[in-house]
Amino acid sequence: MKRLLVTGTDTGVGKTIVSALLCAALDGIYWKPVQTGSREGTDRETVRRLAARAAGDEIPEAYCFPEPVSPHLSADWNGVRIRLDAIQKPLLPQTKWLIVEGAGGVLVPLNDSDFMVDLMKHLGFPVLLVARTALGTINHTLLSLEALRQRGIPVTGIVLNGEENPDNREAVERYGRVPILGWVPPLPEISRQALRRVFEEHFDKTYFPI
């Protein structure tokens, strides 16, 4: 199934860069169901620019709020309650890749009772977890994996983002019992060409059939 939900161990860990990379490399359709901080621009716009994709290669957000805060809080400020049943899977051919980006980390609250992990369960897509390479990533990654597994959400693998760190990579793979599918090194310039080059050089393409 050519469907992946990109989540992360934290906010700002590199989910949007990885989503853009996959859209560029796999000719994928991008969708971020819940967006906050749209006043500063949306991740949909960022992916379109970085992956050099057309406007038709993306799906509008189900919920979009201007404030750069947690979804539950931004929704409350705007007099809205985020409802999982209002977020439905797009109808796309199974031959087409769909790259879905979550908001924040696994346990970011959406409302009084649902978290981002509940939206993942609702959509039913396998998860790709983006993690930093730096100090602290082992704990953050293992906690995220535990939360996903407790809810029976399949984890395809992990993508690491940052300076190369073989020791942390080995520890995450060993203790997390999950494959490292790719690594995004620091990029002096982020463009479609640069992202495709990273995919070719640093990703295990057996997990991403075109």
Strands (E), 60-207: 63-64, 98-105, 127-132, 155-161, 180-184
**For residues 16 and 43, is the Cβ–Cβ distance under 8 A?**
yes
Whether the CB-CB separation of 20 and 42 falls below 8 Å is answered with no
Q: Is 32 known to be catalytic?
A: yes
Among the listed residues 32, 89, 96, 121, the single catalytic one is 32
User: What dihedral angle (degrees, nearest 10) is formed by the CA atoms of 16, 22, 27, 28?
Assistant: -60
Going by C-alpha positions, the residue among 203, 115, 104, 117 that lies closest to residue 155 is: 117
Q: How far apart are CA 135 and CA 94, in angstroms?
A: 39
Furthest CA-CA distance within the chain: 47
Which residues, at least 6 apart from 52, have a Cβ–Cβ distance to it below 8 Å?
A: 24, 191, 192
Q: Which residue has the tokens 């989503």?
A: 19
**62 closest CA partner among 90, 25, 29:** 90
Among candidates 109, 129, 145, 146, which has minimal Cα distance to 182?
Answer: 129
Q: Which residues are catalytic?
A: 32
